[in-house]
Structure 1
Amino acid sequence: MSATSHELTITRFIAAPPAKVWEVMAERQCEWWCPTPWRAEVDRQDRRAGGACRMTMYGPDGEVIPQDGIYLAYEEGRRFVTTDAIVGDFEPAGPFMIGIWEVAPEGDGTRYTARARHWTEEAKTQHAEMGFEEGWSACAAQLAQICEREAG
């Protein structure tokens, strides 16, 4: 079975140079990572394969959702890959997904792609039912808005 058989994907053209999209995507996650009125705070990012990737999402009604995991890959200017299957000092956790965030030049702008790969069809379906399409599309729109405003 291919890795993409349990994948959910959002892609969007952003009318800004790849370097700008990467800078906002990688360095300013607190500005776009969660659909408003939610917000995210970066707790720790050790941007290398095996490095910690920890954020906390805060909801408008007092919700607090930690995201704890590691980077599987970090390719400056191109993509980063994280998973929640491993936390802390390489401790196994209940895996939900592998997240892949990528930028690539396209015409006079950038193609942004975000993927969520799941271990099972059930996890993929659960993520879809949680509002993947709506939520991750809102985040992509927020990212695009920041990049296009600053590039224009």
Structure 2
Amino acid sequence: MHQLTLTRFIAATPEAVWDVLANRQEEWFCPKPWRAEVTAQERRAGGRSAITMYGPDGEVMPNEGIFLAWDEGRRFVTTDACTADFEPSGPFMIGIWEIEPASEGGVEGTRYTASARHWSEEAMQQHEAMGFTEGWGACADQLKALCEAG
């Protein structure tokens, strides 16, 4: 499997983390100074997942795809391999965002894991070179800060 993954421990309950993860994506989904706008979220397998990211210099990056899974309170999985009309769209990855109860240093909280699975080694390396660790890491840190702020 051609997968890139990162994790964070978040000192907040899984319920609190899920609420931010699922319902406040515009606040954490892309690294600042970029911003995200949720266009559509049909929270079910096969439902439309559309988020557009806007850069500080006028960049526009639409992310159109579908949900492969929506497991309320636990994880959601998307792909850009096709649109909500099941039209092929040049696949790049499958994104998986998941949480589970965890403890760290005696603190109860949540383990957040974000993964990007790619069709090829080349695509995975391209994503890594594009700044997967830095970009997705910044998003994870933004999510963590929102959750821990209450």
Same fold (TM over 0.5): yes
Match of 1:41 among 26, 31, 37: 37
Q: In 2, distance between residues paired with 1:11 and 1:132?
A: 13
- What CA RMSD, in Å, does the superposition of the two structures yield over aligned residues? 0.5
Q: Structure 1 residue 12: deviation in Å?
A: 0.5
Q: In 1, distance between residues paired with 2:83 and 2:21?
A: 22
Q: In 2, distance between residues paired with 1:99 and 1:55?
A: 13
The residue aligned with 1:132 is 132
5+ residue gaps, structure 1: none
Q: What is the CA deviation profile of residues 115-151 of structure 1, one whole-angstrom value per residue up to 9, with x for unaligned ones?
A: 000000000000000000000000000000000011x
Q: Structure 1 residue 88: deviation in Å?
A: 3.2
Q: In 1, distance between residues paired with 2:79 and 2:144?
A: 24
Q: What is the CA deviation profile of residues 5-32 of structure 1, one whole-angstrom value per residue up to 9, with x for unaligned ones?
A: 3000010000000000000001100000
Structure 1 residue runs of 4 or more that deviate by more than 4 Å after TM superposition = none
Does the aligned pair in 1 maintain the 2:65–2:78 contact within 8 Å?
yes
Letter in 2 for 1:51: G
State how 1:2-17 maps to structure 2 within 5 Å. Answer: 5-17=1-13
The residue aligned with 2:47 is 51
Instruction: Give me the identity figure in percent.
Output: 67
The residue aligned with 1:148 is 148
The residue aligned with 1:83 is 79
Q: In 1, distance between residues paired with 2:81 and 2:24?
A: 24
Match of 2:25 among 17, 24, 29: 29
Does the aligned pair in 1 maintain the 2:99–2:113 contact within 8 Å?
yes
TM-score if structure 2 supplies the norm length?
Answer: 0.96
State how 1:52-131 maps to structure 2 within 5 Å. Answer: 52-107=48-103, 108-131=108-131
5+ residue gaps, structure 2: none
Does the aligned pair in 1 maintain the 2:47–2:84 contact within 8 Å?
no
